Amino acid sequence: MAFVERVEVAGHIIDSLILAKVLDVILDAGADYRIVDVEIGRTSLDPSRAVLEVAAEDDDVLARLLDDLQVHGANRVAHSDARLAVADRDGVLPEGFYSTTNLPTEVRLSGRWVEVENPEMDCGLVVLPDGRVRTEPMHRVRAGDHVVVGNDGVRVRPLSKPRGATPFEFMTSEVSSEKPKDALVAEVAGRMRQAKARGAKVLAVCGPAVVHTGAAPHLARLVRHGWVDVLFAGNGFAAHDIESNVLGTSLGVRLASGDARAEGGHSNHLRVVNEVRRRGSIAAAVADGWLTGGVMFECVTHGVPFVLGGSVRDDGPLPDVHTDVVEAADAMRALLPAVGVALMLASTLHAIATGNLLPAGVEAYCVDINQAVVTKLADRGSHQALGIVTDVGLFLHTLADHLAPE
Amino acid sequence: MTLPWGRTFLMCPPEHFGVLYEINPWMHQEVAVDLDRARAQWDGLVDVLRQAGAEVEILPPEPNHPDLVFTANAGVVNGRCFVPSRFRHPERRGEEEHYAAWFSSHGYEVAALPPTVSHEGAGDALPFGGVFLSGYRQRSDAAAHAQLSRLIGAPVRPIELADERYYHLDLTFCPLDDRRALVAPDAWDTYGRRVVEALVPEPLALTVDETAGFCANSVVVGTTVVMPACPPRVGRRLEAWGFDVVEAPVGEFQKAGGACRCLTLALDVAVGPNV
């Protein structure tokens, strides 16, 4: 249904069955509609009004249908082109700039609708000299860029919500605390298989709890078998992953036995961070044989790109950490194209940051033991988010057994 | 209960009447109009209406506007508000200023539809049950009804006229009293039929032949139904309901596609909370 126009029909359209007729005419023509807006008059004297988005497979069908609809008083909503203003300073959007959503968005330029290439929320829309339109975060705008201002000539397409019986079929801020976990994990595995089959990438966003709960070897297994294409985390996750592989502890706790702190264990992560800094990068630590296992090791070995975003409280940090957060976000953006599934694994801050960058159509699975975190993640960012309240260790273990049995 | 309107009509003598162009399937320029006979029929209709208790006001005839006799198409009257027609065909657009001038000089508030829509007045807008039914597709635009409703302050329900022979609603629908109406469902689309079914508790459905005989293009004055010609079946039913049927033959005008209702415009319609 590539060809879309909006029509408006107003007046006493309910009692006169005009609205019903208009909808029937659309369906009879083999086209489809979405009711964008409807106001029903309160009294018999009040007029009603409906705005419909009419979609047809081809332009001719749509043109004929629009003529038919006009007979019944449904007229095309006049669209104007988007208004553009020129940015006068680097890093500053023009006043009145259109602020984006993460939904699929189109901009009307010279009477033609142009699809925005990389939907991202809270950005501006920059029209390139060749007529393409991209979202750009504020700091990336350059003086002279043509930026969309106002709402005219911009339209967003809400994601269609498939109806169905399982939470996966209406994935909107669903939280799974009372749902059978094995079935959910099997579904996630299925979704990852589907994504990979259509050439989409899987992104893992990891918090340190992945390591603390002993789940890192399962995640490493998924990376090793090609189930993770991009990894985002912070200094903590990477440091503890390396600590656990070099010293057998995570934040000083022995992972094998669960023993409380080994002697001097609280400084273990500092020592491994220091050793990586001595070598210059995680990749260098792998190359000289000092780091021989774990998630970061598998990423380096299998060429899985990762972004480690820094924060104020980081120890070290590891040399790979982006200490400039704006730079970190840009590095994350650069890895997002083609991502179809995002696993948010026991991470609050990095998961929220990622959610803000993802287009709405990406399926996001937010796994955390804390329902509040899951709800918060699911409510933000992605429209296609499913929260799974469970221990991330159990989740990753089961997921890896589904996808990468060894 | 008899209709609360239909005691005062505006009519225009047929001094300049004729079939000078063809804008509906009934009109054939080669068919000559007998103007003397037309005058006699028009006078006869005026007499019948007056005898039934109606008052008739006269719109002065104008040369070059043969269809000015069909005052039902002057516009829509509601209370003291008058919305002049915007004709679909250029042949009739010259009539608009004459109607507007008459209503303006008689103390009506004249409210105009935008020039982008067509609506052909009371010929396509008849009150029933607290709303106006308004015909569309043939002469009036569906898009006009929302604006018409706003101007006259009354609900307007559009009905699609599916047969080009019945190009105005008043050829297919005639309110008789507060519960009854003559209806010609064959002239409407299925949605229109359902709308009328829901609105009119006791319809008298006309056959195809009865509709073709301009049966619905009648004028009701209290309990008198003035018809161009009354089929026996319809006459019996109307009499059973307590109406007197009076025939007023208007064959000369039927050559132009109009009969009794088309020759009159009720000036005493008042629908809605503000009139």
Nearest to A262 by CA among A271, A270, A250: A250
**Rounded distance, CA A316 to CA A313, Å?**
9
**Rounded distance, CA A93 to CA A287, Å?**
44
Give yes or no: B262 in active site.
yes
Give, in degrees to the nearest 5, the angle at Cα B40 between B37 and B43: 150
CA distance B156 to chain A (A): 6
Model confidence at B180: pLDDT above 60: yes
Give, in degrees to the nearest 5, the angle at Cα A132 between A127 and A133: 50
Cα–chain center distance at A360? 6
User: With bands split at pLDDT 50, 70 and 90, how would you rate the model's confidence at A155?
Assistant: confident
**Rounded distance, CA B56 to CA B53, Å?**
10
Contact between chains at B137 and A71 (C-beta distance less than 8 A): yes
Give yes or no: B168 in active site.
yes
Query: Which pairing describes strands A385-389 and B173-175: parallel, antiparallel, or unpaired?
Result: unpaired
Contact between chains at A11 and B156 (C-beta distance less than 8 A): yes
* A75 to chain B: closest CA residue: B143
pLDDT tens for residues A179-201? Answer: 667 888 998 999 999 999 999 99
pLDDT tens for residues B126-140? Answer: 999 999 999 999 999
Residues of B in contact with A11 (CB under 8 A): 145-146, 149, 156, 158
pLDDT at B159: 95
Model confidence at A161: pLDDT above 60: no
Q: Is residue B1 part of a domain?
A: no
Contact call for residues B76 and B152 (beta carbons, < 8 A): yes
More confident residue, B170 or B30: B170
Residues of A in contact with B146 (CB under 8 A): 10-12, 47, 73
Measured CA distances, B125 to A217, B6, B94 (Å): 78, 14, 21
CA distance B157 to chain A (A): 5
More confident residue, A237 or A248: A237
Buried b or exposed e, range A319-330, using 16+ CB within 10 angstroms: bbbbeeeeebbb
**Rounded distance, CA A375 to CA A173, Å?**
7
CATH number at residue B109: 3.75.10.10
3-state secondary structure of A53: strand
Q: Is residue B169 part of a domain?
A: yes
The chain-wide mean pLDDT, for chain B, equals 96
Residues of A in contact with B157 (CB under 8 A): 12, 15-16
Overall residue count recorded for chain B in this entry: 275
Nearest to A230 by CA among A258, A212, A250, A205: A205
Q: Which of A61-75, A207-221, A255-269, B66-80 comes out lowest in average pLDDT? A: A255-269
Q: What stretch of H or E contains A234?
A: strand A230-234
**Rounded distance, CA A68 to CA A22, Å?**
9
Q: Which structure tokens are listed for A358?
A: 């993802």
Contact call for residues B216 and B171 (beta carbons, < 8 A): yes
Contact between chains at A47 and B136 (C-beta distance less than 8 A): no
More confident residue, A68 or A203: A203
User: With bands split at pLDDT 50, 70 and 90, how would you rate the model's confidence at A369?
Assistant: confident
Model confidence at B208: pLDDT above 70: yes
Q: Which of A125-129, A169-173, B111-115 comes out lowest in average pLDDT? A: A169-173
Residues of B in contact with A18 (CB under 8 A): 142, 158, 191
Q: Which structure tokens are listed for A346?
A: 């026991």
pLDDT at A298: 98
Residues of A in contact with B142 (CB under 8 A): 18, 71-73
3-class secondary structure for B137-194? CCCCCCCHHHHHHHHHCCCEEEEEECCCCCCCHHHCEEECECCEEEECHHHECHHHHH
E strand spans, chain B: 8-11, 55-58, 75-78, 81-84, 109-110, 125-128, 131-136, 156-160, 173-175, 180-183, 202-205, 219-221, 224-227, 244-247, 265-266
**Rounded distance, CA B133 to CA B160, Å?**
10
Instruction: Sheet with B202-205: list strands edge to edge.
Output: B173-175, B180-183, B202-205
Contact between chains at A12 and B130 (C-beta distance less than 8 A): no
What are chain A's domains?
A: 3-76 (3.30.70.2690), 83-156 (2.40.420.10), 167-403 (3.40.50.10690)
User: With bands split at pLDDT 50, 70 and 90, how would you rate the model's confidence at A386?
Assistant: confident
**Number of folded domains that form chain B:** 1
Given the structure tokens 């409407």, which residue do they identify? B188
Contact call for residues A120 and A329 (beta carbons, < 8 A): no
Q: What average pLDDT does this structure show over A372-376?
A: 75
pLDDT at A175: 56
Q: Is residue B244 part of a domain?
A: yes
Q: Which of A256-260, B20-24, B47-51 comes out lowest in average pLDDT? A: A256-260
Measured CA distances, B243 to A205, B33, B78, B237 (Å): 83, 32, 26, 9
Contact between chains at B153 and A15 (C-beta distance less than 8 A): no
Q: Residue A358 forms beta bridges with which residues?
A: none
Between A18-28 and A59-71, two packed helices, what is the crossing angle to 10 degrees? Answer: 160
Contact between chains at A44 and B130 (C-beta distance less than 8 A): yes
**Rounded distance, CA A211 to CA A242, Å?**
10
- H helices of A280-380, where? 282-287, 295-301, 325-334, 349-357, 371-379
Nearest to B161 by CA among B4, B255, B25, B65: B25
* A19 to chain B: closest CA residue: B191
Kindly report the number of other CB atoms within 10 A of residue B162's CB atom: 17
Q: Is residue B273 part of a domain?
A: no
Contact between chains at A18 and B131 (C-beta distance less than 8 A): no
* B143 to chain A: closest CA residue: A73
Residues of A in contact with B141 (CB under 8 A): 73
**Rounded distance, CA A29 to CA A193, Å?**
37
Q: How many CB pairs under 8 A join A and B?
A: 63
Identity of the residue numbered A291: L
Query: Which pairing describes strands A339-345 and A201-206: parallel, antiparallel, or unpaired?
Result: parallel
Q: Is residue B60 part of a domain?
A: yes
CA distance A26 to chain B (A): 15
pLDDT at A1: 46
User: With bands split at pLDDT 50, 70 and 90, how would you rate the model's confidence at B183?
Assistant: very high
Measured CA distances, A317 to A234, A253, A274, A283 (Å): 10, 20, 9, 15
User: With bands split at pLDDT 50, 70 and 90, how would you rate the model's confidence at A338?
Assistant: very high
Cis before residue A47, ω within 30 degrees of 0?
no
pLDDT at A171: 43
pLDDT tens for residues A283-299? Answer: 999 999 999 999 999 99
**Rounded distance, CA A331 to CA A333, Å?**
5
User: With bands split at pLDDT 50, 70 and 90, how would you rate the model's confidence at A352?
Assistant: confident
Model confidence at A127: pLDDT above 80: yes
ipTM field: 0.85
Q: Which structural domain, as residue segments, surrounds residue B253? A: 8-266
CA distance B142 to chain A (A): 4
The answer for residues whose C-beta is within 8 angstroms of residue B131's C-beta and 6 or more apart is A12, A15, A44, B154, B155, B156, B157, B199, B271
CA distance A152 to chain B (A): 24
Residue A110: left (phi > 0), alpha (psi -120 to 50), or beta?
Answer: left
Interface of A with B (CB under 8 A): 10-12, 15-18, 20-21, 44-45, 47, 70-73, 75
Interface of B with A (CB under 8 A): 130-131, 136-137, 141-146, 149-150, 153-160, 189, 191, 194-195, 198, 272-273
* A20 to chain B: closest CA residue: B191
Q: Which of B168, B174, B215, B260 is catalytic?
A: B168
User: With bands split at pLDDT 50, 70 and 90, how would you rate the model's confidence at A166?
Assistant: very low
Phi then psi dihedrals of residue A369, to 5 deg: -75, -20
Nearest to A169 by CA among A384, A361, A345: A384
End-to-end Cα, chain B, rounded Å: 20
A7, A18, A43: which to substitute to probe chain B, counting the most B Cβ within 10 Å? A18
Identity of the residue numbered A161: K
pLDDT at A4: 83
Instruction: Sheet with A321-322: list strands edge to edge.
Output: A174-175, A385-389, A363-368, A339-345, A201-206, A230-234, A306-309, A321-322
Q: Is residue B216 part of a domain?
A: yes
Residues of A in contact with B131 (CB under 8 A): 12, 15, 44
Task: Tell me chain B's radius of gyration from C-alpha atoms.
Answer: 17
Kindly report the number of other CB atoms within 10 A of residue A395's CB atom: 26
Contact between chains at A72 and B160 (C-beta distance less than 8 A): yes
Residues of A in contact with B161 (CB under 8 A): none
Identity of the residue numbered A239: A
Model confidence at A173: pLDDT above 70: no
Of A16, A71, A72, Cβ closest to residue B157: A16
Q: What average pLDDT does this structure show over A62-72?
A: 88
